[in-house]
Amino acid sequence: MSRLATRLGLSVMVLVAVLTACATDELTRTPPGLAPAQGTALTAEWAEIAAGLNVSITDTTATPCHRGEPSCLAAVVTEMEARLEARPCAHTSPFAFTYLEMTRGVANEVASFDDAALISVVDARFAQQYFDAFDNWQLGRIEDVPAAWQMAFATADRQQSSAALDLILGMNAHISRDLAYIVATAVASDPNLREQPDDYLRVNDVIAEVKSPMLANAADRFDPNLFLLDTDPTAQGAPDPVTLIADWRAFSFDLGRRLALAETSAQTDAVIAEIERTSTAAAAVLITAEGAEGTAELAGAVAGLPQGDALFLDAAGRRNFCERAR
């Protein structure tokens, strides 16, 4: 059990090192800043909101999100559900599912936040970055897909990765890259946001609340090995996923704040380069950690487990498992 958990835990552990190692050359050409708004809404609710979402955050009347209405995050959740249903067993689905459950958790608690309007519009814009990157990739507009997302989607398309890697590659692209740019827009509207506000930290609490049922459901639906991401991390020498995500979000907040407060074009370019470099470096390390040798070790480790404890699934096995679970 320890070898298998250690192998899957490696996908989490390497992120700690990467967050402090930002000197890696860029691996893939990527457009700076936010992804082009070229995504195609699957639901009428999201289409209506997305059309006016890029209006200034300080405009408190533009959309239900800007007004802090419950219909904002309800529309985001509905769009996520439609997208997951359209590709229920793809290699991109573990991330789509966990992101949906985290967003659902925030939507259920948004009334308890200090600034429901800010959280709503920020969360909606955050989701839009994922939708746009995914849609651009599916339509072959690779030049409009950020590098970290290119690496996540290309890995998923090859269908040789574990569900854990597919999940964490999506989290890496969305948190270490997209979130930094979203934070920058919020700080630009309120330069006094020099530290993580209470609402930003409250999201960490929501993630902690939904983590265990979310991963249990993901394991039941996509790959039974995902339950290992919810085992005692300290026993395997890995950081707790909730703590790691909180640290990850803090790192992105700092990058976003620095980007918003940059005073020269050179400073702006330097922060953008750091955001892109860090997210692509993390993806590269994650993919390397689960190469052919790692996959073989995972299969061998699972073979030694008691029957029913865990199961090594190749691409066909993952697809069949998911189809049966639907």
Predicted pLDDT of residue 32: 54
Predicted pLDDT of residue 241: 79
Taking residues 28-32, what's their average pLDDT? Answer: 46
pLDDT band at 304 (very low <50, low <70, confident <90, very high): very low
How does pLDDT run across 231-286, given as a tens digit for each residue?
655 555 556 778 889 999 999 999 999 999 999 999 999 999 999 999 999 999 99
Long-range contacts from 288-294, C-beta under 8 angstroms, 24+ separation: 289/10, 289/11, 289/14, 290/7, 290/10, 290/11, 290/161, 290/162, 290/165, 294/7, 294/10
Predicted pLDDT of residue 233: 54
How many other C-beta atoms are found inside a 10 Å radius of the C-beta of residue 316? 9
The answer to whether 45 and 78 have CB atoms below 8 angstroms apart is yes
Report d(CA 181, CA 274) in Å as an integer: 12
How does pLDDT run across 93-135, given as a tens digit for each residue?
999 999 999 999 999 999 999 999 999 999 999 999 999 999 9
Contacts (Cβ under 8 Å, ≥6 apart) of 52: 62, 63
Predicted pLDDT of residue 89: 97
**Between 8 and 78, where is the model more confident?**
78
Predicted pLDDT of residue 225: 87
Taking residues 72-79, what's their average pLDDT? Answer: 97
How does pLDDT run across 282-301, given as a tens digit for each residue?
999 999 988 744 444 444 43
Taking residues 41-62, what's their average pLDDT? Answer: 90
Query: Does the pLDDT of residue 14 top 70, yes or no?
Result: no
Predicted pLDDT of residue 227: 84
Question: If you average pLDDT over every residue of the chain, what do you get?
Answer: 84
pLDDT band at 17 (very low <50, low <70, confident <90, very high): low
